[in-house]
Amino acid sequence: MEVNTPIPPEKAFKSFVLDYDTLFPKVVPHAIKSVEILEGDGGPGTIKKITFAEGIGFNYVKHKVHTLNKENRSYSHSVIEGDVLSNKLEKITDENKFDPTPNGGTIIKITTKFYSVGDAEITEDEMKKVIESRARVYNAVEEYLIANPDA
């Protein structure tokens, strides 16, 4: 998935990665109720619990941070627990890269991999649901950042 945004790369990386824990529950409380660090300092090895708002269709997920590189604006993590995995998925891994665009904005390149349990099959619709819900949240945060440039 690729997300284009007019927000400069440094600000996009800061907002979507470094400030995620506080910014997302504030901007999209209808989707993300809270983010709690269970273990670590935010860098590699950190485990976070993200609790979703009622009506989202999922209760929570736990993320494990794998990489966090501020210099090249990249970040990777896995969903290691939560009802989004159901009984079909071992984990979902995301690799995110925030690259500049010629107009001063950012292209966020997100590579998502779904790891199934045993022979369980994940349908295109199931994968699409996860990716589309993430895109809606990203769009809402982008709108907030554009409307509040000092945020």
Q: Residues 107-138: pLDDT tens digits?
A: 999 999 999 998 888 888 878 887 888 888 88
CA distance 78 to 47: 10
Domain holding 138, by residue range, is 2-147
Residue 138: which CATH number?
Answer: 3.30.530.20
CA distance 57 to 12: 27
Phi, psi of 94 (to 5 degrees): -120, 135
The model's pTM is 0.89
Question: Count of domains in the chain?
Answer: 1
pLDDT at site 55: 86
CA distance 135 to 115: 21
**Local confidence pLDDT in tens for the 151 residues of the chain:** 888 999 999 999 999 999 999 999 999 999 999 999 999 999 999 999 999 999 888 899 999 999 999 999 999 999 999 988 888 899 999 999 999 999 999 999 999 999 999 888 888 887 888 788 888 888 899 999 999 988 8
